Amino acid sequence: MSKTANEEICAFHFHNKSTGQCALCGLPICDSEEARTVEDKKICALCFNSPNASKFRKYIQIGTMVITMTSVILIFVLVPSENSNQLWAFLILIPVMIGLLIGGNKLLSKIAYKGLGKHQMILPLIRYFEASGNAQFYKIFLKNLKKLSDEEIDAIRKPLFDYLVPALLFNYSKLDDNWQEDLLKYLKIDEVALAKIFVDDFRTLLINIAVHDAKADLSKFIFYLGEITENDDIIHIYIKEIVSDDIKNLKDEKLRKDYDQLLEELFLYDELFYSVCDRLNLKKEKEALTALIKRYDPPPVPKSAIDALKQQKDKVLQMQRQGLVSSKGDFEIADQEEVETEEATEES
């Protein structure tokens, strides 16, 4: 979880400074919070509502199961099987069950966010997304952001970005390809303005994550930011950090372990890196990048369908040894597919 410049701001009342943190989730809260305590420790509204929400979730699951089983039994007993009457009854049951689940989830959300306005849920949802990487929190955040007026967004803009940008960077690989579209629309800014926020206000964090905690395609995002803001400085700094002595002097084993994603990015987008180096006249950096890429050991590529199946079987075996899978069905399927593939190869 990142430390933002606005760590002292209450996550629920952004106009107030926090006087402490929730004893359960660590969100900063202020004295205007109602007296919600667990074992004499002050907690936020979300944590206070969580036990009731968990109970209600179980009720939804049990209720759905009971209603489904009861409905199925009644259909078999009461509905004649002639002329596909039972089939139509089952088809009608499906949308009814979906409606019950949707209604139950809406009620569950009201319980979980009881006592909170839509603007009060914005910052906590971002922080939950940052800490857990669960994209569902980000989707709920966008739904609430969509409901805010221009005035409400302007009122929380500074703490909003202090929370949002680190969350996006730490979970960049979990975002959809078009993640910017809805965000720009609901924030009511253009992509240049958003890019400038990353480059100007969060440059240090951006470079640090891209180098030391690299996510897939984050390097391409930095090149995009530099291009759209017409700021080559950010790209220059990024490449300088990649080929710094701290990284170049690492032994291959530690280099692969700590910077595996970064090396993969260099391997996949080497032409892009080289073209940027040529444009910025970074000759020494380009040579260093070339040497760094040579130290990358790419994963083996299957040469045939049989090799692919064998690799899949080896992967399942490794997972079983780690206790991640226990069923022998995976091996039987892999064996059968391997035999069928070999037979097809012999016939051809």
Tens digits of residue pLDDT in 243-274: 999 898 999 888 888 898 999 999 999 999 99
Residues 198 and 105 both lie in one domain = no
Q: Which residue has the higher pLDDT, 117 or 214?
A: 214
Residue 35 lies in a domain: no
Residues 282 and 341 both lie in one domain = no
Q: If pLDDT is split at 50, 70 and 90, which confidence band does 28 have?
A: confident
Q: If pLDDT is split at 50, 70 and 90, which confidence band does 313 have?
A: low
Q: How far apart are CA 232 and CA 203, in angstroms?
A: 12
Task: Evaluate if residue 345 carries a pLDDT over 60.
Answer: no
Residues 239 and 322 both lie in one domain = no
- Cβ contacts of 51 within 8 Å, gap of 6 or more: none
**Which of 83, 116, 149 corresponds to the end of one domain?**
116
Q: How far apart are CA 202 and CA 56, in angstroms?
A: 40
Q: Which residue has the higher pLDDT, 114 or 334?
A: 114
* Structural tokens at position 106: 């809406």
Residues 108 and 52 both lie in one domain = yes
Beta-strand relationship, 28-29 and 37-38:
unpaired
Residues 309 and 289 both lie in one domain = no
Residue 91 lies in a domain: yes
pLDDT score at 286: 95
Residues 198 and 293 both lie in one domain = yes
pLDDT digits (tens, 9 = 90+) for 71-120: 888 877 777 777 677 777 777 888 888 887 778 777 877 777 777 777 78
Task: Evaluate if residue 6 carries a pLDDT over 80.
Answer: no
pLDDT score at 233: 93
Residue 239 lies in a domain: yes
Q: Which residue has the higher pLDDT, 259 or 316?
A: 259
Provide the domain count of the chain.
Answer: 3
**Which of 65, 83, 116 corresponds to the end of one domain?**
116
| Alpha carbon 49 to its chain's center | 24
Residue 316 lies in a domain: yes
Residues spanned by the domain of 334: 305-347
pLDDT score at 279: 93
pLDDT digits (tens, 9 = 90+) for 136-194: 889 889 988 988 888 888 888 888 999 999 999 999 988 988 898 989 999 989 999 99
Residues 268 and 317 both lie in one domain = no
* Structural tokens at position 75: 């259909």
Residue 136: phi and psi, rounded to 5, are: -65, -35
Q: If pLDDT is split at 50, 70 and 90, which confidence band does 282 have?
A: very high
Residues 339 and 279 both lie in one domain = no
Work out the average pLDDT over 314-335. Answer: 56
Residues 323 and 253 both lie in one domain = no
Residue 31 lies in a domain: no
The residues that bridge with 42 in the sheet, in sequence order, are 37
**Which of 87, 116, 145 corresponds to the end of one domain?**
116
Residue 10 lies in a domain: no
Task: Evaluate if residue 7 carries a pLDDT over 70.
Answer: no
Work out the average pLDDT over 58-65. Answer: 81
pLDDT score at 222: 95
Residues 287 and 233 both lie in one domain = yes
* Structural tokens at position 332: 């039987």
Lowest mean pLDDT among 83-97, 211-225, 321-335: 321-335
Residues 295 and 331 both lie in one domain = no
Residue 199 lies in a domain: yes
Task: Round the average pLDDT of the chain to a whole number and report it.
Answer: 81
Residues 290 and 318 both lie in one domain = no
Residue 138 lies in a domain: no
Work out the average pLDDT over 300-304. Answer: 63
Q: How far apart are CA 277 and CA 232, in angstroms?
A: 11
